[in-house]
């Protein structure tokens, strides 16, 4: 970094500020690994599901579902939620360039924690058969909800960040 960019907050830099890069990096990581997990579920997880859950059935909505299908669906749900919240983090990275508020930070960290706890616990549960990990999954779900509420609050109440040369007072 040169001396000018250290002292002049309006100096142009080639890198996004740290928090914006944080959300963008987490979002890209989660989206990329969600694709890997989804592909694994579609093309490689079947034999493991038969091995772990071949003799298991689950009662869901009044129907008996074979265990391998139920747990494969759980794995796919984890990947879908991971992708959704990865995309939300990419959005937060872009939003952070316009408004950097406490609510955006709460939303971002809630989405990160949500993916790690919700999707992470489902992945480990499905792959290992440690069904007690299912107790962690709702905590991740609650983190997702906190994140969405924080984002909503920010969008409804948070003013946009002023940019140099801007005369708009929102």
Residue bearing the bigger pLDDT, 2 or 89? 89
Burial class (CB in 10 A: 0-12, 13-18, 19+), 92: buried
- pLDDT at position 15: 52
Nearest-angstrom CA–CA distance, 96 and 136: 30
Q: What mean pLDDT comes out for the span 57-70? A: 94
User: Tokens for 1?
Assistant: 């970094």
Average pLDDT of the chain, as a whole number: 87
Cα atoms in the Cβ-side hemisphere of radius 13 Å centred on 80: 7
- pLDDT at position 166: 53
Residue with tokens 């709702």: 138
Residue bearing the bigger pLDDT, 87 or 19? 87
- pLDDT at position 160: 58
- pLDDT at position 111: 98
The CA–CA distances, whole Å, from 95 to 42, 103, 111, 116, 161 equal 33, 11, 15, 22, 10
Residue 19 binned pLDDT confidence (cut-offs 50, 70, 90): confident
Q: What mean pLDDT comes out for the span 115-142? A: 96
The CA–CA distances, whole Å, from 46 to 32, 73, 98, 132, 133 equal 22, 11, 45, 22, 21
- pLDDT at position 16: 55
- pLDDT at position 99: 80
Give the least confident one: 11-20, 56-65, 75-84, 117-126.
11-20
User: How many residues are present in the chain?
Assistant: 170
Residue 1: is its pLDDT beyond 70? no
Quote the pTM value: 0.82
Burial 116-153 (b: 16+ CB within 10 A, else e): bbbbbbbbebbeeeeeebeebbeebeebbebbbebbeb
Residue 8: is its pLDDT beyond 50? no
CA 53 to chain centre: 28
Where in the chain are the domains? 17-155
């Amino acid at each position: 970094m040169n001396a000018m960019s250290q002292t002049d907050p309006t100096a142009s830099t080639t890198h996004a500020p740290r928090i914006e890069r944080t959300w963008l990096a987490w979002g890209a990581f989660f989206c990329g690994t969600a694709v890997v997990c989804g592909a694994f579920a579609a093309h490689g997880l079947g034999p493991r599901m038969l091995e772990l859950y071949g003799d298991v059935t689950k009662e869901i909505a009044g129907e008996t579902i074979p265990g391998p299908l139920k747990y494969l669906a759980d794995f796919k749900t984890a990947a879908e939620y991971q992708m959704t919240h990865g995309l939300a983090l990419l959005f937060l990275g872009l939003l952070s360039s316009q408004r950097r508020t406490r609510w955006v930070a709460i939303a971002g960290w809630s989405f990160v924690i949500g993916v790690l706890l919700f999707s992470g616990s489902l992945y480990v549960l499905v792959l290992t058969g440690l069904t007690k990990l299912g107790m962690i999954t709702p905590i991740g779900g609650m983190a997702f909800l906190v994140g969405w509420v924080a984002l909503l609050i920010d969008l409804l109440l948070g003013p946009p960040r002023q940019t140099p040369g801007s005369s708009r007072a929102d």
